[in-house]
Structure 1
């Protein structure tokens, strides 16, 4: 941890327990003795609180997090953003209700819709991110969806998306508030936006008026994998929040993950995150400028400045080629597809990381420009609910034999990162051909 520590109540509580050197006749089975660092991996022992009924140091930490992010309440998750998405939807929606949702969303949201038997009303992205990437979800699209579905329980938007494209959450929030509908934002890839340099003029969804928002701290801040936050701004959802988290979460949450969230919060609160992201984003901008000068396509408009999403297919490269090229130069990307890659930078990247990436970029040979693939998404007939499709008997078929069948899974080619088909939708010839063109060979469908 760099910079001055803020008060860390959970760290102090666990440290106090360790200093007492008690014989551990409690879980976990390693008893803190089987490897370095495992002494911090404890359970809900006296003085160290309970995640789902916090009254001591965990509650104090959650209050600090709420103040840091400007939320009425913030809840810790050791189950990643998935647990936060599950709790968020369960808080705002009752089983069987309708939900206006961005078509581009994480599989955890689709799975939760199946569990809660929610009926999605899809809105589709515009083309504002350019020809190679899915665009943004606009206030106008949300307005039209709510007019067509006035009984929707909530609006659910993913922003930023996987490629860093940021939608107008403030504008969408105004539409939702005018209609009295809560706005839920999956901000899994944007927990760092609160701590960007001021001149970038980026805002966190809670500052933009979201009712509930989830952050995967571990994706963009120095927390362990699985560390996440659920922020609540609307007081209607405060009382039941922990109960909904407990409904889906493990009864054995990882204390090392919780402690790492506290560490990441200290890193942000002392101002070090903003300082580190200043130089990290400047390095990303320089590399991005170089890529654009080479003819590589990148998302247009407001995007996460710490993320390089590159459509190398615009220069005729394949996913296998770019993956091999980068790894040979000791650069590991976040993601590589048939036509694009994602490189995520952060405050804990070292200067040498950017030097290595910059050298790799400068060595990319000039390719032959190729046209972008069609990003048009087919609007498919819904044959049954997501829940019915997911839990029904199914089988795997080739996509070329899938036309006319009802999908039992979500299929998301990336880019654009927007599902071609959702569970319960009947595939037509166009959708089957699109899946085949994106390299999808098989799909699970309902039997019969």
Structure 2
């Protein structure tokens, strides 16, 4: 890829040329550069609507790129240290699914941590691959799932030498990283691919002193959520591949599920954001780290909160920690993370990323200001003063070991009947139950429902967690096999 110029943004440049040419549109979309929908144009802006366009020769085609999108892919691959980079406009969920389906067919095994995002298990439902779950470590004082220990992955590989791939979270939602380089070595020695869910790890490729990125660790594929910490529009991501993967085959897999009408708003946002990170990523993420470390220190001074960090690496299931993640344990002030989440939004006008039963997560980015951080810190101080209470009765963990009885595909498509969740213990689930965000299933298709899970779901509902996954919108009933 020598000779590529990271100051270029081919898709963005082509869209500007298209707009300057004042083309008369007799193609889709039907709003015709915004003229057909004045209210939408007023809301989003004429400049935006003028480049919400369809694939055409000067703008290339996402399904089979040969010009400007192809050039933008090559620039992205160089910036991320990958052999190839695919533009994804169906969200990182689509990239995760493409990774799994590129490596596994029906009946083939994949080794993965159970605290994966629902998109990975959705891929198993679609393609019929068989999960071999590695239970993550658990930090008991925080109640959160961690990474996979190298020893546990080694045992899984030895017990299932026919597995095709190992999937690793890099990092988890909370910022925890497994020893990806060691896992890559073990998997490759056994002839298995390594897939990294880097939905929350874009900055690993550009910042200094951060955990190792998947491509640098030698992984075969990585799903990178540019919109989370890289600055692009929501739903836009990259799928990165190493030299072991066939570009043509992976594109065929992506095209099974990705739209044929790729949004040029999303594509150009990826192109512009890649250029920005390639040119300025180091200073951008230096600032993010500095902001996050400052907020962490100030929150810990309040007392009662635990804004945790690299001290977690004392645990064998934590090889590194992403210090840009402002993860805060709240249970010691007698409040669930979701309760702090709600109070921050409703009483203080502050929207954080998520709250679970014991923790909350605030995403820190280059778009933040010192004033915004001070508002968050002072709000948490007031919340402690006003709402703190005894923590007796709070649920003390987020992760429940699964009892897998059937493959996700077999259970999802099996004959099912609805049962009240309160009466479902002992039955096999035919659907998901999860809190979103973060979208990690409490229960996945094919897993046996236990009394502990029933208790967890009832408690999460009572605390105000946003539960999803069941056919029943009220989450009162669950479809069982």
Q: Report SS of the residue matched to 1:308.
A: strand
CA change 1:309–1:417 in 2 (3 A) is: farther
Measured in 2, the distance between the counterparts of 1:147 and 1:251 equals 41
Aligned length: 440
CA contact (8 A) 2:87 2:239 kept: yes
Structure 2: give runs of 5+ residues left out of the alignment. 36-40, 314-319, 462-466, 468-474
| Residue in 1 that maps onto 2:334 | 316
Q: Report SS of the residue matched to 1:426.
A: coil
CA change 1:285–1:232 in 2 (3 A) is: same
CA contact (8 A) 1:159 1:186 kept: yes
Q: Report SS of the residue matched to 2:54.
A: coil
| Residue in 2 that maps onto 1:404 | 426
Match of 1:184 among 176, 195, 212: 195
Deviation of 1:41 after TM superposition, in Å, equals: 0.7
CA change 1:86–1:324 in 2 (3 A) is: same
Measured in 2, the distance between the counterparts of 1:235 and 1:177 equals 11
Match of 2:114 among 103, 112, 120: 103
Q: Report SS of the residue matched to 1:74.
A: strand
Larger mean CA deviation between 230-239 and 26-35 belongs to 230-239
CA contact (8 A) 1:129 1:165 kept: no
Match of 1:161 among 134, 156, 172: 172
| Residue in 2 that maps onto 1:195 | 206
Match of 2:369 among 324, 329, 350: 350
Q: Report SS of the residue matched to 2:53.
A: coil
| Residue in 2 that maps onto 1:142 | 153
RMSD: 2.3
Match of 1:288 among 258, 281, 296: 296
CA change 1:411–1:97 in 2 (3 A) is: same
Deviation of 1:333 after TM superposition, in Å, equals: 0.7
Deviation of 1:203 after TM superposition, in Å, equals: 1.9
CA change 1:433–1:232 in 2 (3 A) is: same
Measured in 1, the distance between the counterparts of 2:23 and 2:126 equals 42
Q: TM-score, normalised by structure 1?
A: 0.92
Measured in 2, the distance between the counterparts of 1:58 and 1:208 equals 27
Measured in 1, the distance between the counterparts of 2:109 and 2:201 equals 26
Alignment partner of 1:72 is 2:83? yes
| Residue in 2 that maps onto 1:30 | 31
1:111-139: CA deviation from partner (whole Å, max 9, x where unpaired): 11011011100001113585332111121
CA contact (8 A) 1:386 1:424 kept: yes
1:332-359: CA deviation from partner (whole Å, max 9, x where unpaired): 1111234321110111223332232233
| Residue in 1 that maps onto 2:480 | 446
CA change 1:265–1:130 in 2 (3 A) is: farther
CA contact (8 A) 1:134 1:417 kept: no
CA contact (8 A) 1:86 1:248 kept: no
Measured in 1, the distance between the counterparts of 2:399 and 2:8 equals 50
Q: TM-score, normalised by structure 2?
A: 0.86
CA change 1:430–1:222 in 2 (3 A) is: closer
CA contact (8 A) 2:90 2:236 kept: yes
Measured in 2, the distance between the counterparts of 1:222 and 1:357 equals 21
Measured in 2, the distance between the counterparts of 1:249 and 1:63 equals 20
